[in-house]
Structure 1
Amino acid sequence: MLDSDDNYSVNSDGFHNQYPQGLENSDNVAISKTITSNIITRTSTILSYIKEDNKFAKTQVEPNPSYDPNEIIKPEGTASYSLQNYDNIGKPIVSTKRKNADLENIKSAEYNEEHDDEQDEDDDEDNETKKSNAVLEDTGEYNVFDIENRPPDKGFWAWTCAFCVLSINTFSWGANSAFGVYLNYYTTMEYFPGASMEQYVMIGGLCLGLSFIVCPITVSLCRRYYFKITMSIGTGLIFLSYWLASISKTVIQLIMFQGFLMSIGFALVAGSCFIILPTWFLKKRSITQGIASAGAGLGGIIFSRPVDQIIKSYLDNPKYANNQHEALRLGISWSLRMQSFVCGFMLVISVILIRTYRPLIDPKVKEKPFIHELYAFLVRFDILKQIPVLCVIFWNMIYGLAYTILLFSLSSYATSIGLTYQQGSNVTTVQSVAQTIGRPLMGMCSDKIGRVNSTIFFTTLITIFIFFFWIFVTTYSALLAFAFLVGFILGINWVNFGPMTADIVGGGMDLTHTISMMMFTGGFPFLIAELVGLKLKRPEMEKPFLYCQILCGVSCIISVLVLLPFREWKVKRILNARRKQFLPKLTFDDTDETTNIENETINKGQFINEKAENELNRLDKMLENNVSSYLLRMFYPIAV
């Protein structure tokens, strides 16, 4: 603004600057400086709000007793606020003496009186009791169960368990990553004369899809019996299925052993891992899940090349030069036997070492018939009616189409553009290496910037790679680059679907129900994805996989859109929790201490009240139930 009397301009900081003689009466210059100053001030204020909201979202939490983000969460205790810490959004020192006090309805005098009494009582408590009873800020990020039954997040057995799950994933679902190599030989060299492509594809679909569908049975068994018994049975089935597949005489036998029986083994040995890790970790759930899920890529590294080399060693053997079919049969048989011994041995070691932080057995479950209890697992309407749960379920289902096609089709795509079997196997290996490196790093990124944020970002990135890279790949080097880039971020669903589910329902018994429903529904896309992808293949076209590539890209786009309402829900919870933190400050008053602000002496309590009121007005605006506020929350740049 321009001061016409003294030819002074006043900037946003309250300082006076005198303009040169030629500009002292220039309205244009004054207006321009005022607009610029207002823009800078406004931008700085918005960035400050975002910074503080993110800082708040990354703090620890106190019990959150409701799934409803519209409910103002009641704090666990009564808080006292230090004026000196206000610039840091006043982290409260929380007392647990007054449980579930509604600070919004406490009058100022009553609050101060109770605060003084409680402070005296707290001074008499020893440090250990204070530490065990301390409840920190509510950010709306986690579920109440995880805070009341806080996982250790560290320790020898916690990390041993994480690496046991890594090993289990490596030698169960991870070992199945080599199926792309088998599939290439099955379909191009007619392993069983007269067998159709659909029959071979069904094997891979059963291994991945049916194992997911059967996982609710695994979880139910773990609630009735000691979980290691279930996992040991699964280990035995995996060993047996590989061995029986190696001596199969017909394609139906191959489907039953390498597909059906193996999927049951995968479900029994690896299905319970989804509910074991969240009991050990809270803040580090994504990074540990990333480490554990890296087993899918590690299995590909361990088995893809050896399987291909065993098969090729027989095909290239002069002894079988005139009988390539017999060479192929022997090569596949011995590669399957190799997997049976390696997987069986490593799974036995992992099952021996793994343990849970909390018991999985529920004594009440044994009183119910198994079928009734299993049905209850899949029809928890109180969980299914929650919008965030539905968002994660549908995201997992839709993304599963793109995941399965990209996982199993690159080797086949390599041969479709004129590459050799060995080059196709190398592509699969590179993809597996990328998954092994990428999944732990995606877990670290998810814990840093938020699980929902990272899931949306990486899925969008996969969409870009599909439409602007994969469609135009025609050379070996380009396909290797694509395999590495996509493989690096492809397993984002394995990294985050468990932790995101636990953030909604907690790490207790509700998690077992929700994970069961999610895996049951997510298994169907895995079951049919590869078959759909190969059905869309058009050998007569210049780009045989074009329709398949379009399906993958569209699936990724839709899965991102499905997650946006879930993101809005999480942001709303965080903003509600942040709003709660400012309620006590409206009743705070301190007439003894004053401060000088812009040459005016005001009471510090008054300053706090004004700041809290402004902050509450901003949060109330963002929490309004209208379209603009909904969209603002959906895309608000905060770590969730």
Structure 2
Amino acid sequence: MTGQRNVSVVFSKILLVLCCCQLSTDRNMGSSKGFETPRGVIQPLDGGETTERGSENGPTDTEKPTHEEEEFKEGGYGWVVVAAVWLILAHSFGINSMFGVFLAFYLAHDHFPGATPLQFAFVGGLSFSVAFIISPFATILFNKVGLRVTVIIGGLFISGAYIGASFAKTIWELILSQGVCYGLGMGICYTATAGLIAKWFKKRRALANGIATGGTGFGGLTYSLAANAMIQRMGIAWTFRIMAIICFVVLITSALFLKERNQGTKISATAFDFKLFKLPDFWLFLGWAWLSSFGYVAVVFSLSAYAQQVGFSAQQGSLVSAMFNLSTGIGRPIVGFMGDRFGTIRVTTLGTFISALFTFFIWIFGGKSYGALMVYGLLGMFPSIMWATFAVMTASIFGLEKMQPVISLSTLTLALPYTFAEAIALSLKKPGRDGFLDVQVYSGAMFVAATICSLALTIKKGELYGRKKDD
């Protein structure tokens, strides 16, 4: 028995040596036929390297992830996409932020007989709420027709809204055009492009997203000044028509330069993933977004009115709002750069807390001084930090796979705070120089509460101390 066992061992070793020799011969000859292994078929690559393909589970190229990692380079066409998204946001959310110019005209002129100030205010709020409500349906449209066509459809809605508003004779026609129709286009454009930058960047993801979202601030600043001049010279109707032509040309052209990038990651395109509501992180994320929105809306819609109530002119009040938009445009890329350097969630938490401090200590205690009020306007990058980091936060917390459904559901729910935030702020306003005190305290308190939610996410993601981990 011992002799037979020794013979078997020797025979096995001989077979093993022969197999190794055959394998070596195949590699040297550059054979492309491959050979069988217990796990499947191994095919030779250039230079004699091999990859394994599972016979049951489909191809799995062990060299592919490394190759994709080498292929992924920051910049390149991704910066073209950033520029296109910048223009799209400038001519959707950016132009909508200049609604105060139109509102001032409506209140000063009897262009819509019988309309009340509350109805005019409802037009501006409705455009935001519709934009958020349409988000999941815009995702479905995106899945059906693709990125470029979706943005083009959104651009047609925006242009059509302003054309319709130019012919509006009653308040309800204005609500349906400048309110509902514009909101549909704005929501479609935002939903289609919200997660696009994250697919093109890794190391500079927050910076690129900050540059792109900065278009909102520059769009609001530029067109606020332009629209006011056009209204004075050509009237409200032709102002709407010129804005419609500009939006049509810029949005359609920008859409043609958009391009998706497949990073090899399976990205969910589901519009309604209600399983997200089972995740504590999703509730914390919603808490941060909701509370930040309550504070942001109360600030951005109240600055001009506050300036006039404490004794400054309407022109001075509009200048404060313009500086707020300028700070938003310049500050968002800075926030993005800091997010790439120190961690997006950590920077968002700190920025939200700074918003609370500035609201309490600059706006409340120094707001009656025009210089201090201008300083607060120039620090608008902090109260508006939510939209500088919103998309990157979703990628950092939930990953690219769940990014689209998180954006869809969260923006859908944001319709509520954006609809009622200013109504709450106006209900807190009282007459007199100190009439906005409750509004100021309310805004600061919202930023504090949002900081708590963001801080909880920071701790859960391990970003409170040490190096950033959200990328």
What's the TM-score, normalizing by structure 2? 0.80
How does 1:620-635 map onto structure 2 within 5 Å?
635=464
Distance in 2, Cα, partners of 1:151 & 1:243? 45
Distance in 2, Cα, partners of 1:190 & 1:474? 32
Match of residue 554, structure 1, among 421, 435, 445: 445
Q: 1:204 to 1:254 in 2, by over 3 A?
A: same
Q: 1:187 to 1:153 in 2, by over 3 A?
A: farther
How many corresponding residue pairs?
A: 411
Q: Could you tell me how far 1:180 is from its partner in structure 2?
A: 2.0
Q: Contact 1:174–1:299 (CA<8 Å) still a contact in 2?
A: yes
Q: Could you tell me how far 1:462 is from its partner in structure 2?
A: 1.0
1:74 corresponds in structure 2 to none
SS at match of 1:431: helix
How does 1:236-635 map onto structure 2 within 5 Å?
236-311=156-231, 313=232, 331-358=235-262, 377-381=271-275, 383-472=276-365, 473-485=367-379, 487-508=380-401, 510-538=402-430, 540-571=431-462, 635=464
1:73 corresponds in structure 2 to none
Range 209-218 or range 192-201, more displaced: 192-201
Q: Deviations over 1:235-278 (max 9, x none)?
A: 11111111211222111211111111100011122221012222
What code does the residue aligned with 2:434 have?
K
Q: Deviations over 1:403-453 (max 9, x none)?
A: 122222222222222333322222222111111110001000011111111
Q: Deviations over 1:125-178 (max 9, x none)?
A: 59xx9986559xxxxxxxxxxxx9899352432111111111100000011111
Q: 1:302 to 1:241 in 2, by over 3 A?
A: same
How does 1:18-37 map onto structure 2 within 5 Å?
none
1:180 corresponds in structure 2 to 100
What code does the residue aligned with 1:555 have?
M
Q: 1:229 to 1:133 in 2, by over 3 A?
A: closer
Q: Could you tell me how far 1:379 is from its partner in structure 2?
A: 4.3
Distance in 2, Cα, partners of 1:521 & 1:151? 38
Matched, 1:639 2:468: yes
Q: Could you tell me how far 1:398 is from its partner in structure 2?
A: 1.3
Q: Contact 1:192–1:251 (CA<8 Å) still a contact in 2?
A: yes
Q: Could you tell me how far 1:331 is from its partner in structure 2?
A: 3.0
What code does the residue aligned with 1:411 have?
S
Q: 1:390 to 1:566 in 2, by over 3 A?
A: same
Q: 1:283 to 1:541 in 2, by over 3 A?
A: same
Q: Contact 1:305–1:425 (CA<8 Å) still a contact in 2?
A: no
Q: Contact 2:345–2:458 (CA<8 Å) still a contact in 1?
A: yes
Q: 1:194 to 1:279 in 2, by over 3 A?
A: same
Distance in 2, Cα, partners of 1:533 & 1:191? 27
1:55 corresponds in structure 2 to none
Q: Contact 2:139–2:271 (CA<8 Å) still a contact in 1?
A: no
Q: 1:236 to 1:534 in 2, by over 3 A?
A: same
Q: Could you tell me how far 1:464 is from its partner in structure 2?
A: 1.1
Question: Which structure 2 residue ranges, 5 or more long, are not aligned?
Answer: 1-46, 51-60
Match of residue 161, structure 1, among 54, 77, 81: 81
Distance in 1, Cα, partners of 2:127 & 2:144? 25
Q: Contact 1:177–1:408 (CA<8 Å) still a contact in 2?
A: no
What code does the residue aligned with 1:390 have?
W
Q: Contact 1:377–1:513 (CA<8 Å) still a contact in 2?
A: yes
Q: 1:192 to 1:441 in 2, by over 3 A?
A: same
SS at match of 2:93: coil
Distance in 1, Cα, partners of 2:91 & 2:376? 26
Match of residue 152, structure 1, among 65, 69, 72: 72
Q: 1:552 to 1:444 in 2, by over 3 A?
A: same
Distance in 2, Cα, partners of 1:308 & 1:415? 19
What code does the residue aligned with 2:384 have?
G
Distance in 2, Cα, partners of 1:253 & 1:404? 25
Q: Contact 2:166–2:241 (CA<8 Å) still a contact in 1?
A: yes
Q: Could you tell me how far 1:514 is from its partner in structure 2?
A: 1.3
Distance in 1, Cα, partners of 2:443 & 2:107? 22
Q: Contact 1:240–1:340 (CA<8 Å) still a contact in 2?
A: yes
Q: 1:276 to 1:149 in 2, by over 3 A?
A: farther
Distance in 1, Cα, partners of 2:108 & 2:426? 13
What code does the residue aligned with 1:377 have?
A
Q: Deviations over 1:264-313 (max 9, x none)?
A: 011122221012222212222211110111011011121011222233x3
Distance in 1, Cα, partners of 2:171 & 2:207? 41
Q: Could you tell me how far 1:456 is from its partner in structure 2?
A: 1.1
SS at match of 1:282: coil
Distance in 1, Cα, partners of 2:311 & 2:242? 30
Q: Could you tell me how far 1:359 is from its partner in structure 2?
A: 10
Q: Contact 1:297–1:432 (CA<8 Å) still a contact in 2?
A: yes
Q: Which structure is larger by alpha-carbon Rg, 1 or 2?
A: 1
Q: Could you tell me how far 1:493 is from its partner in structure 2?
A: 1.0
SS at match of 1:389: helix
Q: Contact 1:151–1:279 (CA<8 Å) still a contact in 2?
A: no
Q: Contact 1:308–1:425 (CA<8 Å) still a contact in 2?
A: no
CA RMSD across the alignment: 2.9
Q: Contact 1:151–1:280 (CA<8 Å) still a contact in 2?
A: no
Distance in 1, Cα, partners of 2:49 & 2:450? 51
Distance in 2, Cα, partners of 1:520 & 1:639? 29
Q: Could you tell me how far 1:549 is from its partner in structure 2?
A: 1.4
1:113 corresponds in structure 2 to none
Q: Could you tell me how far 1:396 is from its partner in structure 2?
A: 0.7
SS at match of 1:442: helix
Question: Which structure 1 residue ranges, 5 or more long, are not aligned?
Answer: 1-122, 136-147, 315-329, 366-375, 575-634
Distance in 2, Cα, partners of 1:447 & 1:257? 40
Distance in 2, Cα, partners of 1:269 & 1:457? 29
What code does the residue aligned with 2:320 have?
V
What's the TM-score, normalizing by structure 1? 0.60
What code does the residue aligned with 2:428 have?
L
Distance in 2, Cα, partners of 1:423 & 1:523? 31
1:615 corresponds in structure 2 to none
